[in-house]
Structures are given as C-alpha cells and as structure tokens.
Amino acid sequence: MHRDPRLVIMPFTGKRLGGSHISGLVLADGLRQRFDLNSVIVAPEKSEVTDFARGMGFTTIDSGAAPSNRAYDPLGALLGFRSRYSMLSRLKDGAVLHVNDMSALPIWGPAARLIGIPVIHHDRANGRKFPKCLAIQIAEHVISISSFCYASLACVGEHRKTLVTDPFKYPDTPPPSELKNAILQEMGANDDCILIGFSGNFWERKRPVFFLETARILAARNPRLRFVIFGRPGDISEARMQDLIQQMQLGAVCLLAGFRTPADNNIAALDILAMPAITEPFGRTPVEALLLGVPYVATDDAGHSEILEKWAGGVGVPLNADPEEFANVIERMITSTDQIALSLDDRRLIATELSPTSHAEAVMQVYRKFGDRFARGEMSGSETGHSPGAV
C-alpha cells in the first residue's frame, strides 16, 4: 500500500518574498527531485511568491485573497472559508498541507483539518506569544528549523514536533570579483576597496542602524572600506535609513542597494558580511555566506550561535557588544579572512548535509507519520476515477 503523499499544498498569504517562502520552495524543489513529488503553491495572484514559484516551474493557484502580511488575522480566517474548503476538497486525495508561515496556518489549517488533509506547520519564528501557541495547535505536526526555535515550542508536545534544519542549494554565482567590482563601480569607488555588507530587511531586530553605527566607526579608521546594505523597509523606513546615512556622513562610502535577487550574488560580492541581528531563529544569510566562502561577523545569539558552533565560517560577537566592539572584530577579520573562511571541501560537505534532497528526506519522514491517510486517499481516488493530486 502506497504510504507517501502524492501532492503537497503550500499556502502563502503575503505579497513579499521572504526567507520562509524561499525555504519552503527550496523544500518543494527537493521533494520534486528526490521523490518526484509535486507541490502546488496557493498564494495571491499578484505576489512575489507566486512569481518566484512560477519561475521554479511550480503550479500555482490564485488564493483569491488580497495579500496580507498580518501574522494573525482572525477575520481572514473566517472570510472565504467556503472557497478554501472547496479548493482543498478537490485536491485532497493523497495530499498534505504544508504551511510555511504562521499567517497562513489559521486561514488554511481549519479547512484542511475538517477535510482530513494532514496539516504540517514549518515553524521559523522565534517567539512564545499566546496567539502563536493558540494558532499552532491547528497543526498536527510542527517542523522546527533550529534548537532555539524548538525550545520556544513548549506549547507543542514532543510527539508533535521535529527538528529539521532549513535547506540550502549549493550557490552558483558569477565570479565574486565581477560582482564586487559592479557594486564598487555603482558607488564610484576604486576596485581595491574592501566591501563590507549587511543583508536583511529593516526590522529593529535585524539592527540595520547598529550596522550603520559600526560602519561610521570603521570608515573613520580605514578610508579603503566601503559599505553596502541589501534589504527593504520593515519597521524602519528607507527614508529613515537614508537620513541616518547622511547624518553619519557615510553618503560617499555607503550604498543603500535595496532588495536585490538572487541573494547569493549579493553576498558573494562581499569581502565580509556583518550580521548584527538578535534573536534570529536560524538565519539563512550566514549559512549562504559560509557556503560561498565569505567570512561573516554575527551576534553570538539564538540561531546564529548554532550556526557558529556547528559549521563556523565566521566570528561571533557577544550579545551585549556595542558598535565599537563589533567594529573591532571586523577590523581584525580584514587581515585574516583566509583563516576564517571555510575550505572548498568543507563547504561542499556542508552543502551536501543541507541540500534540498537531504532536507526533503527528513521532511518525508514527517509526512509518513500520516501514511495511513495517504493510503486511504489512494483507494478513494482509484474508486472514483479521480486522479489524486490533479490540479
């Protein structure tokens, strides 16, 4: 009796593409490669995740809802329930609902549970707030991306949660020197300058202002240093960042580059990546850096601590460090990047460990906990003449 799912349904609610969307779609790609398992992406038609999914060759379905980035949307969970129920009913045979962001769980989870589709939530958050603990009970099983996130799931029983590190594709970028020179030319800087970068949206937790304060200290010490910031507004606006750059007299040495893809190209252009974020659930960016051989400086906290301890490739700075201490570590790193960056052999080993297909195998083990329901779906599909998973 067939015990694997035959379709993965991944719903998203937001307009913008973020780390959880990328991780979810990389997982879907791994499932496709390793198990020939199809995924269908359900999202607002006019959203970056829909465009990204189509670019990866996935079938997409318009959710029929306007994009929303609210973490908890009780009204959204009620409106459109009938249409979601109808859509999932057509896809139910052999299907699993795999939710990659918390906002989609209370919206899509109840209909799936009512129909009998297994509901998996992939938790990439870092909080223990009451609404999250309430909403996460909708899921029948929770996949957590780091020990830090796993520990925050005290409201989920041990039998209902599994730790699986996020997947990463081995980076394939143009020559780093070409990428770096393109950034330096955009800044009007000489090609012998040293490029230090920040990659992340402008949330207080990511500490982009802390990065600017660090850049101001470093710029005063070394005229060869240049700084680039990749990202877009969060609770800090782009105008605010531009104002701070001018106030700190960094206009000639710091480029606010905006949101650019692919992210690997942004990081590959750097000599050093600075990651001052705190309470990071895991952090795709440091892992992308170590796979590219770009040394990084990160706050030694939460998910960053796990990455530093397990794979190295960078240097940790204490959680209570101020911008000057952060700058001191970067300054020392400038002369020792070759000793800190991982060897090509080490990077390849880590890439194999974190590959989409390895990740897909671990996730499939979670799916197989519900194998009896997939088997029933197969029988139902064959009896009715319906092709399970047909979209």
pTM of the predicted model as reported, rounded to 2 decimal places:
0.82
- CATH fold match for the domains 7-167+355-384 and 176-350: yes
Q: Tell me which residue of 264, 266, 315 sits closest to 291, measured CA to CA.
A: 264
What is the SS3 string spanning 44-111?
Answer: CCCCHHHHHHHHCCCEEEECCCCCCCCCCCHHHHHCCHHHHHHHHHHHCCCEEEEECCHHHHHHHHHH
φ, ψ of residue 202 in degrees (nearest 5): -85, 70
Residue pair 13/72 in contact by the 8 Å Cβ criterion: no
CATH topology of domain 7-167+355-384: Rossmann fold (3.40.50)
Amino acid in position 40: V
Would you state the pLDDT for residue 296?
Answer: 96
Residue 206 binned pLDDT confidence (cut-offs 50, 70, 90): very high
Chain CA centroid to CA 266, Å: 15
Q: Tell me which residue of 203, 12, 30 sits closest to 107, measured CA to CA.
A: 12
Taking the C-alpha atoms of residue 288 and residue 299, their distance in angstroms, rounded to an integer, is 16
> What pLDDT, in 10s, does the model give residues 271-330?
999 999 998 888 889 999 999 999 999 999 988 999 999 999 999 999 999 999 999 999
Give the C-alpha distances (Å, rounded to integers) separating 74 from 152, 162, 263, 346.
23, 27, 33, 46
Given a cut of 60, is residue 2 above it in pLDDT?
A: no
Would you state the pLDDT for residue 69?
Answer: 66
Taking the C-alpha atoms of residue 379 and residue 370, their distance in angstroms, rounded to an integer, is 15
Domain 176-350 bears CATH identifier 3.10.450.40: no
Taking the C-alpha atoms of residue 330 and residue 157, their distance in angstroms, rounded to an integer, is 42
Residue pair 199/272 in contact by the 8 Å Cβ criterion: no
Taking the C-alpha atoms of residue 120 and residue 330, their distance in angstroms, rounded to an integer, is 41
Ordered by start, the domain boundaries in the chain are 7-167+355-384, 176-350
Count other C-beta atoms under 10 Å from residue 134's C-beta.
12
